[in-house]
Structure 1
């Protein structure tokens, strides 16, 4: 998360902002975080190597970073109570259904029951990617598994057939300090701020040029160009650290705001992945019914701009996957645009935006190939212009935009499926 490459990124951003003179006040906000890296992993169930097996974020290694062996033991219910773990789990591998409680809670209970490893399998179509969250001494090496790979195994276990397992994870989890960078205009009404941000970190598996070099550079370019203009309302830019570990930087930032400072932020705009190779122009479908008032007005601003430029657009769920999450949970309206991650482009979207139906929007999402060749320059330029439009609109005036309230969005919290790019339950 904050290794040599990330420090170099932070240094570049800060130096570029410092060159802009006294237009902005700059600050570094350091905060403690937990960083995890999985270096190698393997899971064997019976004679099969399930393709969907995926180590959880912040998982510990298997004992002594060596393979561990045991029988699969089916855990009752969703494995959210100690009573769900039969005695047979001890010395074996816990097989747990996803749902109800966090992955971290399941791993911790499996560890307390004496499991040598744990597997959380899906109850719906698709893989399970997640994070164990705050480390616990009771966490054990934990994998996610798709429903498709789990189904035949569950059938065998319920029929009384023994299925053995080999689990191996070489991983490190460490506590570090990392940094958010904040730049705020000296000019403009300091009690009424429009805020926007992207994240400066990437996953360990790849360089992170689209995710989120594209967003963080867009935010930096808009900050640079804004210095040619005066503003009526203050504009606050942010480059978040720790997004890939679970929105750590943005969560920390919002948690440190006093109620007075919280209310000065009229809205937050999130810009994460602006130039996916197989892009769609995506707008977060944020309504005022489920989110702080103003979220829908921001959504409509994006829609109106795309329409005005004869560009197609599509709505995507506002489900907690990016750095807007902490703002919405704390009563600050928000939204944003994106161009797609690991989702699959539909035939209809291929007609609307070009590209290839059936492929991911970003085929290099969270992989080594997310390099400088992994950006669609047309989409990136178009969206950077829209980001500039969004900043200019609110820097000039909040006329017609709802006043801030202290009410957080209960409906939003009930509907979110993610905290960052990973599922949390």
Structure 2
């Protein structure tokens, strides 16, 4: 069902009501300490256990458009309704990517004869079809684009982000690239426009067993098979090509995939008390990737928001609080984007701020507070509250620019002040960060990011509790003062 009529009615009624109601008695307002004491790691863990069991019953994931996500949404809705909150499910349609058969990648020969011996590559371990890759089975010469076999780490410097990078590209070849500082969609579309019949993108920081599945954001305009691959695959292909000079090596790329439109839901809940003209909003994505249960990404944010919602459900508040659990984030922020685009101008104006929780229990964590460049006015005040509370507890923080890469980006683009918390994904911990936060320098914040091992056993409950407390403090702060952001 469409969300606009529901939320328009809520905003209108709440605005009229707020003009008639007297402000709440300051003595009745909840304190940060009260809510933080009620939001316990044990309660958050119970939600995470429920989400993990749901994934186990549904093929190991809770991806948008699947039974696992539907069951996750039903669980969250049930908890919110039991707490007495007003709960709505916003339905919308998304393109769901499915792999019908294992993909294949192999060296088949050279123009001058058979290939040098190259170990077979395994789908799921060495490479994966990207989300929204096209299907196809092609055999063609490989064409390498400024390939640097010595590249390493998480810094993405590969060519192909500009169409001009493909000047002189041999039409009818399979493009072999390294991940660049742009959307993977940009590299794939640029390659196919230049005449590539398939694309293989190697990631210097990814190794066998830790290959992820980047999203191409939409199946539209994607016409060729597109694979993400480990650094070892890239190096093996490059070495084989060097040994075959002057003849090019030939590769075979096969993908049997499909994209199907399915209905999914955002779960939205709201407190009964508080001024509906100044809505304090907190959210995080409920969906996992198709490759794992998503307990840190983003069961951790989901569970923390859920428990804060339970504890604020019956509280007397100055400003209404709205809780959101998004679908389709892993496909390209689809749920939060749909929600924001469905709002009228008045509905957007009623949202004072949006706080995002995405991955707050990484095992090799850094306590990051959002600091996206170009965020709307008021965003710094949100993040000052988060960082200020953590520092008041003797806990170090660092700013982090997510470049709008989680659901807060949908709100920032609409001019709504945003903030959030994050403990890291594939970022490699520096020596200086290890000196501050402990953990392993040179290792990713979450080695199980977007993988099957993203389970309850891999999260850090200490930082989960700290970040949940910071979020609870911020929600109490913004919901009990008027205006939520001073000067707004």
Alignment TM class, shorter chain as reference: 0.7 to 0.9
Tell me how far apart the structure 1 counterparts of residues 475 and 414 of structure 2 sit (CA, whole Å).
22
**Structure 1 residues 350 and 330: alpha-carbon distance in aligned structure 2, compared to 1, 3 A threshold:** same
Deviates more, 1:156-165 or 1:194-203: 156-165
* Unpaired stretches in structure 1, ≥5 consecutive residues: 405-425
Q: Are 1:359 and 2:422 matched, yes or no?
A: no
3-state SS of paired residue (1:29): strand
- The residue aligned with 1:377 is 461
Counterpart contact for 2:198–2:224, Cα < 8 Å: yes
- The residue aligned with 1:43 is 105
- The residue aligned with 1:70 is 140
- The residue aligned with 2:294 is 208
**Structure 1 residues 81 and 180: alpha-carbon distance in aligned structure 2, compared to 1, 3 A threshold:** same
- The residue aligned with 1:418 is none
- The residue aligned with 1:408 is none
Bigger radius of gyration: 2
Count residues with an aligned counterpart: 393
- The residue aligned with 2:477 is 393
Q: Are 1:5 and 2:68 matched, yes or no?
A: yes
Q: Are 1:58 and 2:102 matched, yes or no?
A: no
**Structure 1 residues 138 and 333: alpha-carbon distance in aligned structure 2, compared to 1, 3 A threshold:** closer
Tell me how far apart the structure 2 counterparts of residues 137 and 179 of structure 1 sit (CA, whole Å).
26
3-state SS of paired residue (1:373): helix
Deviation per CA, 1:342-383: give whole Å up to 9, x if none.
Answer: 222222222322222222222211111112212211111111
Deviation at 1:142, TM superposition (A): 0.8
Tell me how far apart the structure 2 counterparts of residues 402 and 370 of structure 1 sit (CA, whole Å).
39
3-state SS of paired residue (1:321): coil
TM-score, structure 2 normalization: 0.72
Deviation per CA, 1:288-321: give whole Å up to 9, x if none.
Answer: xx22111111111111111110112122223122
- The residue aligned with 1:411 is none
Deviation at 1:188, TM superposition (A): 0.8
Deviates more, 1:352-361 or 1:192-201: 352-361
Counterpart contact for 2:368–2:400, Cα < 8 Å: yes
Deviation at 1:121, TM superposition (A): 5.8
- Tell me which protein shows more helix as a share of its residues: 2
Counterpart contact for 2:65–2:94, Cα < 8 Å: no
Any residues of structure 2 matched to 1:99-110 within 5 Å, and which?
A: 103-104=184-185, 107-108=188-189
Coordinate RMSD, CA, aligned? 3.2
Counterpart contact for 2:426–2:449, Cα < 8 Å: yes
Deviation at 1:338, TM superposition (A): 1.3
Tell me how far apart the structure 2 counterparts of residues 400 and 83 of structure 1 sit (CA, whole Å).
48
* Unpaired stretches in structure 2, ≥5 consecutive residues: 1-63, 108-114, 147-158, 207-211
Any residues of structure 2 matched to 1:7-406 within 5 Å, and which?
A: 7-21=70-84, 24-38=85-99, 40-45=102-107, 47=118, 53-63=127-137, 68-73=138-143, 78=160, 84=166, 88-90=170-172, 92-95=173-176, 103-104=184-185, 107-108=188-189, 111=192, 115-120=196-201, 126=205, 130-136=214-220, 139-144=223-228, 153=238, 156=242, 160-286=246-372, 290-399=374-483, 401=485
Counterpart contact for 1:74–1:157, Cα < 8 Å: no
